Amino acid sequence: MRILALVPGGIGDQILFFPTLDDLKATYPNAQIDVVVEPRAKAAYRISKSVSDTILFDFKGSNSLSDWSNLLGVLRDREYDIALSLGQRRGIGFLLWLSGISTRIGYGSGASGEKFFTKTVPLNCDQYAAAMYHDLLKGLGINRPLSEVAISVPAKDLEWSDVERKRLGLRDGGYVLIHPGASQLSERKGIDKIYPAQSWQKIIQDFQQKQPDLPIVLLKGEEDAAIVSEIVALCPGIKSTSPENIGQLVSMVAGASLMLCTDSAPMHVAIAAQTFTLALFGATDPETLLPKSDRVSGIKSPTGKMADISPQMVLDRVWGG
């Protein structure tokens, strides 16, 4: 059996879809499961335990007819038996119908393209996103409860993190990680997800005063280099780490006692790694992005602006438990 899932969105969306993929694999253990993802999200599948192959397609791009034709050709050649679509673009159902895939599952959201699916499930956006994605399995008669996100980290990434922790003078469970930024895509869309460097400075200084022996480490990626540099300038001597892939990121996060972050892909990584996580939200809704767990907590801005989350609100949550 060959199963296909079309999963638009970034790395966070893919991680939220992992429980659905894992339950597909558990139900059809001999199946090959492939995903169609945007190029920016391919890296997520380095830590997936259920996906065989990734097919790249820019769902949000200005795709030409030849782009759609090339994707259709790939789907026809691989002769999939089942397809699940997270996307709600009207052309996706038509594409899957043209591909000849016999079982096509999508959301019944009132869009004209849903007639091309063989089965639709209700779209319930007012719940944890992983649960919303997991609802697609009901179209296959799979009624498993939603499980926690599970990941599989390559051994060489675990080895890298051991070396990196030694370089930074860290011990497992004995440090706090801070991811202060967000993706460039969020910035281009005008979505406020960056917490000000001056506010991080106040939080870091409070940690250093109350727990002087507890190391604090900044997570630095290509897209958050600017704000990390700003924080380093405000907090001389603070440590930083720059994982080169998502496996290395997971390994560093898993060794931390606490992750402080904004609404971002590293937030979902921390949740998957079962690290205690406190995430800051501006306009986005923590209820749809965080699971119900005593290891995960969110603070939403009272105004929808990240800058209006005071450092004291964060510190009260940290020290108050």
Residue with tokens 């992983």: 130
- Domains of the chain by range and CATH? 2-140 (3.40.50.2000), 155-320 (3.40.50.2000)
pLDDT at 157 over 90: yes
User: Does the pTM exceed 0.85?
Assistant: yes
Q: Mean pLDDT score of the chain, rounded to an integer?
A: 92
**pLDDT recorded at residue 234:** 96
Residue with tokens 């860290």: 170
Q: pLDDT of 292-314, one tens digit each?
A: 999 999 999 999 999 999 999 99
pLDDT at 198 over 80: yes
Beta-strand relationship, 216-219 and 277-281: unpaired
**3-class DSSP assignment, residue 173:** coil
Where does the pLDDT of residue 192 fall: very low under 50, low under 70, confident under 90, or very high at 90 and above? confident
- Alpha carbon distance 290, 288 (integer Å): 6
Helix 225-234 vs helix 197-210: crossing angle, to nearest 10: 50
pLDDT at 171 over 70: yes
261, 238 contact by CB (below 8 A) = no
Beta strands, E only, the chain: 2-6, 32-37, 53-56, 82-85, 103-108, 119-122, 176-179, 216-219, 239-241, 258-262, 277-281, 296-300
- Alpha carbon distance 184, 143 (integer Å): 37
What percent of the chain lies above the pLDDT cut of 70? 94
* Sheet-wide strand order for 82-85: 53-56, 32-37, 2-6, 82-85, 103-108, 119-122
